[in-house]
Amino acid sequence: MNGSTTARDDPTIAITGAAGFIGSRVVQQLRATHPNWNLLALDNQYRGQVESVGDTDIDHVDVRDRRRLEEFLEGADVVLHLAAVSGVDDCDENPDLTYDVNVTGTNNVAWFCRKTGAALVFPFSMAVLGDPETFPITADQSRDPLNWYGRTKLLGERAIETFADGAFPAHLFLKSNLYGDHVVDGTVVSKPTVINFFVDRATAGESLTVYEPGTQSRNFVHVKDVARAYIRSAERLLDQLADGDTGTETYEIAGNEDPSVMSVAETVQEIARDELGVSVDVELVENPRSGETLVEDFTVDTSKANEVLRWEARHTVDESVRELVRRRA
């Protein structure tokens, strides 16, 4: 099945977590970029925001249900595995669910790929690194996650490395902090990540709360840029299937900016004043989280994704915040 001429010309691409923040944009981008491709979209709607994307319906399938999952994925050439419980807080509050989805669910997807030869893309988040010790950050650095989210993503990464060996090609994305939003059939799809949270508070006239010390740096990448990385990855994987490649490749998917959280808040503050005439305070508050890095540098080396996937981040924080603020005006 996989790797045939038919698969390359008219492949079937499955997207788990297709109703979510990233997944819905990936479906939208796939439909626009490759209208001939067959799409299988699934989500259990735990954090789903849409039920369809254009004429692609999102089926209610849970990655924890292996039998139902395998029935739905039958015939897939590439699986873009985006279903996850994400975010430090959500994972801490729902540890059993996080394990079932992020570990068992990911194993189910990877086991399907091993049995069928389907290719796989899996994002495993900067949270697996813990406190990075050298910069720029690369996927070669040691893993020492500080929280449950990072630990479950690390288990997923290791499982896929094991399952893919000698059986199917897989791309692993070391992905930085997302921001931005996008519109699906009139619905604004977003998520309260750091930058989006600041914009929401600013446009509501509320103070921007920055966790101490405020100097901690983060790398930010726009959801639309991330979605393009999945498209590039699927294209490369189809070629790798045709060539009989197996095993994993890891790519750093990140933006070109790594400002401090305080400077991001001040950027949002300034743009809200310019665009809306709204004056909001920036307030430094006690950090309630213990499991996160406070490093003041967060540069990421994306050269491998630039060269091999022909991908690069296009959106800037300033331009994107301005667009977000205007949309909420």
Residue 279, classed as helix, strand or coil, is coil
Q: Does this chain's domain 5-178+222-253 share its CATH topology with 182-218+256-298+315-328?
A: no
Point out which residues pair with 168 in neighbouring strands: none
Could you tell me the CA-to-CA distances from 260 to 31, 47, 217, 300 in Å, in that order?
36, 28, 4, 14
Rounded to 5 degrees, what angle do the CA atoms 242, 246, 247 make? Answer: 145
**Span 101-113, pLDDT tens digits:** 999 999 999 999 9
Determine the Cα–Cα distance for residues 129 and 301; give it in Å rounded to an integer: 14
pLDDT in tens, 104-147: 999 999 999 999 999 999 999 899 999 998 999 999 999 999 99
Q: What is the pLDDT of residue 8?
A: 63
Q: What is the pLDDT, as a whole number, of residue 6?
A: 46
Sequence spans of domains, the chain? 5-178+222-253, 182-218+256-298+315-328
Q: Which of 316, 320, 165, 159 is nearest to 248 (CA)?
A: 165
Distance CA 257, CA 135 (A): 13
Torsion of CA 292, 294, 299, 300, to 10 degrees: -20
- Rounded CA-CA distance 234/163 in Å is 19
Residues of the chain where predicted confidence (pLDDT) is lower than 70: 1-8
Tokens describing residue 189: 């799809």
| Superfamily covering domain 182-218+256-298+315-328 | UDP-galactose 4-epimerase, domain 1 (3.90.25.10)
pLDDT at 301: 98
CA 295 and chain centroid, separation: 22
What angle, 0 to 180 degrees and rounded to 10, lies between the N-to-C axes of helices 261-276 and 194-203? Answer: 30
| H/E segment holding residue 284 | strand 282-285
Share the mean pLDDT of the chain. 95
Which residues sit opposite 221 in a β-bridge?
178
Architecture of domain 5-178+222-253: 3-Layer(aba) Sandwich (3.40)
Q: What's the pLDDT score for residue 238?
A: 98
pLDDT value for 288: 85
Q: How far apart are CA 58 and CA 52, in angstroms?
A: 5
**C-alpha Rg value of the chain to the nearest Å:** 19
Structure-token match 């038919």, residue found: 6
